Amino acid sequence: MNRLNSLFANKKDLLSIYFTAGFPRLDDTVPILKALETSGVDFVEIGMPFSDPLADGPVIQKSSTTALENGMSLTVLFKQLENVRREVSMPIVLMGYLNPVLRFGVERFLDKCKETGVDGVILPDLPFEMYREQYSHLFEERGISNTFLITPQTPPDRVRLLDENTTGFLYMVSSAAVTGAKTGLNQFQIDYFTRIRDMELKSPKMVGFGISNQESFSEVCKYANGAIVGSAFIRMIENSNNIAEDIDGFICSLKPRND
Amino acid sequence: MIEPNNKGFYGEYGGAYIPEMLIPNIEELRAKYLDILNSESFRKEYHLLLCDYAGRPSPLFKAERLSAKYNANIWLKREDLNHTGSHKLNNTIGQILLAREMGRKRIIAETGAGQHGVATATVCALMGLDCVVYMGATDIERQAPNVARMRMLGAEVRPATSGNKTLKDATNEALRDWIANPLDTFYLIGSVVGPHPYPDMVARLQAIISSEIKEQLKSKIGTNLPDYVIACVGGGSNAAGSFYHFLEDESVKLIGTEAAGLGVNSGETAASMACGDKGIIHGSMTYLMQSDDGQITEPYSISAGLDYPGIGPLHAFLKDSKRADYMPITDDEALDAVMELTRLEGIIPALESAHALAVLPKLKLKTSDHVVVTVSGRGDKDMKTYMERFNL
Ligand SMILES: Cc1ncc(COP(=O)(O)O)c(C=O)c1O
């Protein structure tokens, strides 16, 4: 059982943060990770920037462009993560698009994930069928979790299929949209969350896309194991002069501490 | 005929590398497109519109002065005479009938030169459907007349402002729009690119070009097989249509021309075959211009319609299997070809089409050779560039 599986087994109302590697500055990746852990985030998704991120809204697009201009690449990212497990113990998931991973070499990529202590991978443009046929054994051999996305339009039998085949968690895309912070949940979304909750799936579920404040975070926690915040975090960090302090404030505003 | 397998692969190229958000829409299209395209009612209406609305068949014109210059029989397939001024309408007529059959009310499209945008806006006006066209901000600038035409036809033109602000970026925005509007929207792709089934569907809808060439040649020279068929390749739809019914006629040499921009080694190019290698763009495995890290390279060409860092997967397959040859043509070579056709034949071609014509001086032709060049579109939209470059 990797870090991700034990986290889901032991804790509820999980808060996960997505941020783009190498943004706002190239060397911010690890300091951001450490600050997120200190401020009580449960796990992270590190975005591997891509030139043409077609499932992402303007905020993540822009951060990816900046990160690439800063010189971020998979080689640089794995170098930055080389000793990360001495300092950070929460689960780490890498999220990005397939082409840079293919170019790096899928096996080499997964080997590097294992070496650096990355627990899972999300590749939205690698559809399940192709994953199963070509890559699943490579993930399994190394104990790297995968995660599939589901959306309000995913038919129930496909939700079941993805649920049965995920080894990490199901990523519930909150609405038909690209990434980007939004305010409030509507009835359509609540119905979808309820429908998925009532399916009693085996996999943990995290809600992502459009979660930006305490209200939407605690609301979706009623239906899933937790939520993922991305664009709102990136917008905050872009304008930050003191990363550690601002991250702490931001996380506290999403999930007030009881102590 | 070359068809992809049931997962959309031509050999190792093609497929559907798309996020889960697009799967229900793509899956529905994949399940229905062949049945609809092959149905009696679709075929009837498609051919009626091609004939009475688009003005097909487009002529196959013997270019005598060009023939004299190159010492061979040069035939021009006049897609420039299609309604709206290019081959793009063949595809949009087909897809709009499909969209209507599937009950979609809102049409989105990407466009480079604006010809596909105009052809989409045109059929949307014809069918009374809402139309949003994404176009790179750079292209909005250099193809202004087409922007005005789209607006006049009732379409909303939305600028894409990422990357080089050209066709690739417009396609990204169109895909994002489809992700955000999965229920009522039909994505009407303009070339043989994108996830399966688009490359196959668009190739079938453009195949009318080669089926007409065959018939026309037969009646003009007694055989339906020329020695060469030549077409320009952006995503590759006019080339796919020009090649389609010749793919199994091994004696016919097929040549696609891609935009080399300032030259294949200049760093300012859109020659994805000459400069690219295997990778994924817009949901399809194909030849792609990319960095060592797998980031997509920003392309450059004087021709907005060819300014794209990838190529349809069918062409990647035809290149590797050596069934077709692909040659890079620079901006300057294309401009020379524009003037040559204009002065020798009285036809002002689109910049894209000039990339096909520009291959003529590079071939070793025999007097007996019959060479078909597809003139994919007319040059009206490029007058701004021509005025600057030719000091008009
Ligand atoms: C006149 C003309 N020819 C060719 C093209 C390139 O498209 P394709 O390669 O799909 O034929 C375009 C695209 O805008 C065009 O307008």
What residues of A are in the B interface, CB distance below 8 Å?
A: 50-52, 54-55, 57, 61, 65, 68, 73-75, 97-104, 124-130, 148-151, 153-155, 158, 162, 173, 176-178
With beta carbons less than 8 A apart as the criterion, state whether A230 and A18 touch: yes
Does A212 have pLDDT greater than 90? Answer: no
pLDDT of residue A1: 64
Residue B19: cis peptide before it, omega within 30 degrees of 0? no
Tell me: pLDDT of A216 over 60.
Answer: yes
Domain count, chain A: 1
CB neighbour list of residue B209: distance below 8 Å, 6 or more residues apart: B58, B77, B79, B87, B90, B238, B241, B242, B244, B374
Predicted pLDDT of residue B304: 93
Residue for token digits 């176009």? B135
**What secondary structure letter does DSSP report for A215?**
H
Residue A183 pLDDT > 70: no
Q: Which structure tokens are listed for B246? A: 């010749």
CB A53 within 8 A of CB B297: no
Query: Which residue's alpha carbon is nearest to atom 14 within ligand 1?
Result: B305
Assigned token pair, B215:
């018939």
Cα angle B144-B149-B150, degrees, rounded to a multiple of 5: 100
Catalytic residue among A28, A42, A45, A219: A45
Rounded mean pLDDT, A9-21 = 97
CA of B353 to the centre of ligand 1 (A): 8
Asked if residue A120 is part of any domain, the answer here is yes
Q: Give the gyration radius of chain B's Cα atoms.
A: 19
pLDDT digits (tens, 9 = 90+) for A34-59: 999 999 999 999 999 999 999 999 99
Tell me, yes or no, whether A259 lies in a domain.
no
CB B344 within 8 A of CB B334: no
Instruction: Give me the interface pTM, i.e. the ipTM.
Output: 0.94
Domains of chain B with bracketed CATH: 21-49+88-202 (3.40.50.1100), 56-85+206-389 (3.40.50.1100)
Distance, CA of A83 to CA of A118 (rounded, Å): 11
pLDDT at residue B2, rounded to an integer: 85
Local confidence band at A112 (pLDDT 50, 70, 90 cut-offs) = very high
- Among A72, A99, A123, A192, most B C-beta atoms within 10 A, so best to mutate, is A99
User: Residue A54 belongs to what domain range?
Assistant: 3-254
Cβ–Cβ under 8 Å, residues B44 and B225: no
Q: Cβ(B233) to ligand 1 under 6 A?
A: yes
Q: How far is the CA of B123 from the centre of ligand 1 (A)?
A: 18
- A73 assigned to some structural domain: yes
For the cut 60, the answer to whether the pLDDT of residue A259 exceeds it is: no
Closest CA to B363 of B48, B20, B72: B72
Which H, E and C letters describe chain B, residue by residue? CCCCCCCCEECCEECCCCCHHHHHHHHHHHHHHHHHHHCHHHHHHHHHHHHHCCCCCCCEEECHHHHHHHCCEEEEEEHHHCHHHECHHHHHHHHHHHHHHCCCCEEEEEECCCHHHHHHHHHHHHHCCEEEEEEEHHHHHHCHHHHHHHHHCCCEEEEECCCCCCHHHHHHHHHHHHHHCCCCEEECCCCCCCCCCHHHHHHHHHCHHHHHHHHHHHHHHCCCCCCEEEEECCCCHHHHHHHHHHCCCCCCEEEEEEEEECCCCCCCCCCHHHHCEEEEECCEEEEECECCCCCECCCCCCCHHHCCCCCCHHHHHHHHCCCEEEEEEEHHHHHHHHHHHHHHHCCCECHHHHHHHCCHHHCCCCCCCEEEEEECEEHHHHHHHHHHHCCC
With tokens 């030849």, the residue in question is B287
Catalytic residue among A56, A119, A163, A219: A56
The CA-atom distances, in angstroms, between A100 and each of A49, B47, B80, B272 are 9, 43, 39, 17
To which H or E segment does residue A37 belong?
A: helix A29-38
CA distance B343 to A87: 72
Active site residue B110: yes
Q: Is the CB of B191 under 6 A from ligand 1?
A: yes
pLDDT band at B251 (very low <50, low <70, confident <90, very high): very high
User: Is A56 in the active site?
Assistant: yes
Partners of A52 on chain B (C-beta within 8 Å) are 163, 168, 172, 281, 296
**Span A147-170, mean pLDDT?**
96
Q: What's the rounded Cα separation, in Å, for the pair A14 and A37?
A: 13
Edge-to-edge strand list for the sheet holding B130-136:
B156-160, B130-136, B106-111, B185-187
Q: What does the pLDDT average to over A113-140?
A: 96
Give residue-wise pLDDT tens across range B312-340.
Answer: 999 999 999 999 999 999 999 999 999 99
Model confidence at A143, in pLDDT bands (50, 70, 90)?
very high
Ligand 1 atom at minimum distance from B115 CA: 16
Ligand 1 centre distance from Cα of residue B259 (Å): 11
The CB of B109 under 6 Å from ligand 1? The reply is no
Q: Which pLDDT does position A5 carry in this prediction?
A: 94
Phi-psi sector, B129: left (phi>0), alpha (psi -120 to 50), beta: beta
Task: Tell me the chain B residues in contact with residue A102 when contact means C-beta distances shorter than 8 Å.
Answer: 279-280, 294
Residue range B68-91: mean pLDDT, rounded: 98
Residue A257, pLDDT score: 78
CB B136 within 8 A of CB B166: yes
pLDDT in tens, B135-178: 999 999 989 999 999 999 999 999 999 888 999 999 999 999 99
pLDDT digits (tens, 9 = 90+) for B370-381: 999 999 999 999
Q: Is the pLDDT of residue A256 over 90?
A: no
Contacts 24+ apart (CB under 8 A), A196-199: A196/A150, A196/A159, A196/A172, A196/A223, A196/A224, A197/A223, A197/A224, A199/A156, A199/A159, A199/A160, A199/A163
Omega before B197 within 30 of 0, i.e. cis: yes
The shortest C-alpha distance from A245 to chain B (Å) reads 32
**pLDDT(A181) > 90:** no
CA geometry: angle A43, A47, A53, nearest 5 deg: 140
pLDDT value of position A160: 98
Which atom of ligand 1 lies at the shortest distance from residue B238's CA? 11
CA distance B31 to A118: 38
Q: Looking at residues A215-223, what average pLDDT do you find?
A: 93
CATH number, domain with residue A58: 3.20.20.70
Higher pLDDT among residues A257 and B175, named by residue:
B175
Contacts of A176 in chain B (CB under 8 A): 21, 179-183
CB contact under 8 Å between B17 and A130, yes or no, is: yes
State the pLDDT at residue A177.
Answer: 72
Whether ligand 1 lies within 6 angstroms of the CB of B136 is answered as no
Distance CA(B77)–CA(B50), nearest Å, equals: 16
B181 to A103: CB separation less than 8 angstroms, yes or no:
no
Q: Evaluate the CA torsion angle A5, A7, A10, A11 in order and state its sign.
A: negative
- Compute, in angstroms, the gap from residue B62 CA to the centroid of ligand 1: 22
CB pairs < 8 Å spanning A and B: 99
Q: How confident is the model at residue A2 (pLDDT cuts 50, 70, 90)?
A: confident
B residues 2-31 closer than 8 Å to A (CB):
7, 15-21, 23-24
B319 counts as catalytic: no
Mean pLDDT, all residues of chain B: 97
Residue B315 pLDDT: 98
Alpha carbons A44 and A60: distance in angstroms, whole number: 15
pLDDT at position A187 is 87
Give all strands of the β-sheet with B284-288 in edge-to-edge order. B9-10, B13-14, B284-288, B277-281
Q: What is the DSSP letter of A119?
A: -
Tell me if A110 is assigned to some domain: yes
Q: Tell me, what's the pLDDT at A25?
A: 97
Instruction: Say which residue, B10 or A190, is predicted with more confidence.
Output: B10
The residues pairing with A146 across neighbouring beta strands, listed in sequence order, are A121
| A77 pLDDT higher than 60 | yes
pLDDT the model gives residue A175: 84
